[in-house]
Structure 1
Amino acid sequence: MAQVPQSTAELAAVLQEPVDLNFDLPDPEDEGILEYDFQQLVDNAWLVCDRFDLQTEIWRGRILRVVRDREKKGGDGRGTGFLNWLKSREISKSQAYSLIELANSADTLLAEGKLSTDAIRNFSKRAFVETAKSAPEVQQLVTEAAEKGDRITRREVKQLSDEWTAMSSELLPDEVKEKASAGTMPARYLAPLVKEMEKLPEIHLKPLQEEVASNPDVDTIKQVTSDARYLAKYLDSAAQVQAIQASSLDMEMALEEALRLDCLNTAADLVKQASTLEQTVGKLYTTWKRLGSLSDRLYVDTGASTPHLRSLLSCLESLVNEVIEVPLDDTGEQIVRLKILTDSNS
């Protein structure tokens, strides 16, 4: 009878020998094997790798958490020891905290009794991460399926999440919920609609709800989802455009006209691009001022003994002057010139 390792040191010694994962993979050129049997064999092998990977990543996250917490208690307060530990093992900081988050999620689900240790084996790694990020109600649905022995992939998590979103939302009319409950309206079409409607103020919801209630079919759901998306983009962008806020424009009336002409998507993109342009101009001005300040400072610090630094400043004159010149292509035949004019209060 094989002796079971009694400590992590003994276990590590055992694992010095490579694990022999000798799968009986099918021959891809074997025309005698049925497609169903072929898929079953490769799916089973993939599932083993997925489970092994998930368990390993959870334990790596727990190890990293222990090292980090130890450093917090006795380190220099800047996490230098933890970062050096990661560096010696060629682990990035973002990767480390992603693993710690995974371990925290696993421990939370286990501690709350939502999931047993054995049931974790039924998850793919990505499915487990998605479950950990889901709403508590979705976690309950997923873990119940895992406890029953169902294989859980990201597709199952998304399906259960969509179903819960559709059935629990108060934004969807009863006519649509009834069709979803009966299975005649796939939840995957309703979840995106709910997410877009959640971004809208109540005043804009009623027309959308009336539309899907009167025509509770897939094509209508898709169209209303698109309308809700553009409407949210329109309202969000319009609130950020200073040129609009400083005017007496009635945005609601402009919206009604866009809806009447069926050009809401164009209007939404228009105000979105206007918002982007204003933000870009603000960032351009700030960068231009900073560049000019640095240029002036370097000019004061240089002289005849630093001809190359002076040449650098000369090269950048086209960017620090009142008129900025930037070529649009490598040939220099197309040049954009921007003249920055500010009022006396700037």
Structure 2
Amino acid sequence: MRRSLYEAEHEDFRETVRAWAGKEVVPFHDQWERDGIVPREVWTSAGAHGLLGMDLDERHGGGGVRDFRFQAVLDEEVMRIGATGLGFGLHNDVVAPYLRDLATEDQAQRWLPGFCSGALVSAIAMTEPGAGSDLQGITTTARRDGDGWVLTGAKTFITNGINADLVIVVARTDPDAPGSRGLSLLVVERGMPGVTRGRNLAKVGLKAQDTAELFFDGVRVPAENLLGTENRGFAHLMDNLPQERLSIAVGAVAAAEAVLARTVEYVTGRTAFGRPVGSFQHSRFVLAELQTEVTIARTFVDECVRQLGAGDLTPVDAAMAKYWTTELQNKVADRCLQLHGGYGYMDEYPVSKAWRDARIQPIYGGTNEIMREIVGRSLGL
């Protein structure tokens, strides 16, 4: 089905991304998978090519265009080549809106130029060892002390956690407030005493993505590093989670399209019993079903992107997009691996990496169980 989401300027940007990635990412990503991290110079190269902070103010080095379609193009191209080590989606789609909408002018001048150039890598620390999708269970605390805060606690599964220079930490600033109340966003910068980076966690997939533990032991955070309104952190999170979940959905559909295209190519050339694997009715039926479902997913996600741009995307629509597309991504990867036979289980074939990388998608950004709960409650149930 012909897409109508993008205009000429977005497709021009896509060509820029492809040219950059073909030179700076594709030849090296296998090594980054073995290393467990993407080198810092990749970030500065991306910044120099205008791939970071596209919707941030030009005064601070950003693209100056608030149009999520540019981020979506980058997300699609990253997933098309399987470059899951690049933490650009977290940087651009998740962290940037907090800085764009909540930072004071002083904070913007301090942080945004580096954010856009790639000299400053960002992360957001919500998840704790005992609190994942249940953000109300956060136990990391920030206690007022003089002209700042004293931050104590632990976070885990933090994307960009090893490379990050700036981490937005969700902490409890009012211990007497119930549930989700009393949370605030504090920006922790590299070099602050008391911050310890734990393990670069070994994972099933996303091998090149630095996913880390972070520990805060009496970290003094200056008052001017409060992002947004004190004790309104949960509301700030709720404002930005729909875009985060849409970003995951965009990547999920692009990944499904990529592995499906590679599989069609594989079964066309691979023979069994003297004929191409793709010529068997079972293979055709499986691929026909997957192609149909991926096309439906693409159509829905494109409409969600349009609605985000118009300010109309609801948390419910974002939840539907996130849970359905990530489960489809896993289904497509699994069925495509099966069509590869034993070769699909070998690392030398990209389908095996696609299968491993897909598994986290229904978990982060809010588990798909939580997404179903959001949709179910919207029905008055």
If the TM-score is normalised by the length of the shorter chain, which range does it land in? under 0.3
Structure showing greater Rg: 1
**TM-score, structure 1 normalization:** 0.25
More RCO (CA 8 Å, sep 6+): 2
